[in-house]
Amino acid sequence: MAATPLLELKGVKVRYGVIEAVKGIDMKVNEGEVVTLIGGNGAGKTTTLRAISMIHAPAEGQVLFQGEDITGVPSHEVVGRGIVQVPEGRHIFPSMSVYENLEMGAFIRDKGDRKGLGEEVERVYELFPVLKERRKQAGGTLSGGEQQMLAIGRALMAKPKLLMLDEPSMGLAPQVVETVFDVIAQVNSEGIPVLLIEQNAQMALGAAKRGYVIETGEIVLEDRAEKLLGNDEVRKAYLGEE
């Protein structure tokens, strides 16, 4: 028998009023995996993420985490269980220092527990040495790439069992995108599973083990990432090839 997936979506539908933005999707993330959900603008990627984190709960279907049904539980409880997301557009605290931003990450999950905070911060600094250099600087003064690292670092401070990233490469220069993807690989190599949402299909499929393609709220393809990279439909629709 196959092991229970870490995360499982079963027939998840999400509505905004009468509009059905996600139309009954099935997805899985297993322990240790990087899984990517790719699709164009407006396909329903962020909506799917917000349904998993219960910021906007599914209208129908179930979300299971570690085999338990978490559909409809309050979003803070979802974080408490270890599902931590880095939202689209990063949302760091611009006037707080880098260090304070990281500190806030620990409180997202474990209110008031300062034990081990120093160790966690050091771990994040090891992953992102530039954040250590800039630890006293206000978050808002960092470059786009550095802010993305800070947002990911802050999420790691909450000790995620699943890290969800919403378009981490958005608006970043190609070289910085490379760095961010290196970081994702490094985070995963520490055993943290990642659900990676991207429009940048090339990079995302390069980083992931498996992928799902979403179009107008439906999963139209799912496969091993290397298979999707070689798929003609994917190449035409998402990799700009003729």
Q: Does 16 bind ligand ADP (CB under 6 A)?
A: yes
Is residue 39 involved in binding ligand ADP (CB under 6 A)?
A: yes
36 binds ligand ADP per the rule CB under 6 A = no
Beta-strand runs (E) in the chain:
7-16, 19-29, 34-38, 60-65, 68-69, 83-86, 162-166, 194-198, 210-215, 218-224
Q: Give the C-alpha separation, 33 to 163, whole Å.
A: 11
Q: Binding residues for Mg ion, per CB under 5 A?
A: 45-46
We find the least distance from the C-beta atom of residue 15 to ligand ADP, in angstroms, to be: 9
Least Cβ distance, residue 48 to ligand ADP (angstroms) = 7
Considering only residues 45 to 84 of the shown chain, the ones binding ligand ADP according to CB under 6 A are 45-47
Sheet holding 218-224, edge to edge: 83-86, 162-166, 194-198, 34-38, 210-215, 218-224
Residue type, 37: L
Identify whether the C-beta of residue 57 lies closer than 8 Å to the C-beta of residue 9: no
Contact partner at residue 201 from ligand ADP, Mg ion, none, CB < 5 to 8 Å by partner kind: none
CA dist 104 and 195 (Å) reads 22
Residue 77 interacts with which of Mg ion, ligand ADP, none, CB < 5 to 8 Å by class: none
18 binds, among Mg ion, ligand ADP, none (CB under 5 to 8 A by kind): none
Q: Check binding of 44 to ligand ADP (CB under 6 A).
A: yes
Residues whose CB falls within 8 Å of the CB of residue 37, separated by 6 or more in sequence, listed in order: 27, 45, 48, 195, 196, 197, 198, 211, 212, 214
SS3 helix, strand, coil % of the chain, rounded to 5? 40, 25, 35
Q: How far is the C-alpha of 154 from the C-alpha of 144, rounded, in Å? A: 15
- Does 43 sit near ligand ADP (CB under 6 A)? yes
Nearer to ligand ADP, 44 or 168 (CB): 44
Residue 38 interacting partner from ligand ADP, Mg ion, none (CB closer than 5 to 8 Å by kind): none
For Mg ion, the closer CB: 130 or 220: 220
The amino acid at residue 182 is: D
Of 42 and 116, nearer to ligand ADP (C-beta) is: 42
Interface with ligand ADP (CB under 6 A), residue total 11
Residue 40 Cβ, how far from ligand ADP at the closest point, in Å?
7
From 97, 110, 104, select the one nearest 138 (Cα to Cα).
97
Applying CB under 6 A, which part among 5-13, 41-49, 70-78, 127-135 lies near ligand ADP?
41-49
In the complex, what is the shortest distance from the CB of residue 46 to ligand ADP, in angstroms, rounded to a whole number?
Answer: 3
C-alpha to C-alpha distance for 70 and 207, rounded to whole angstroms = 28
User: Which parts of this chain interact with ligand ADP (CB under 6 A)?
Assistant: 16, 19, 21, 39, 41-47
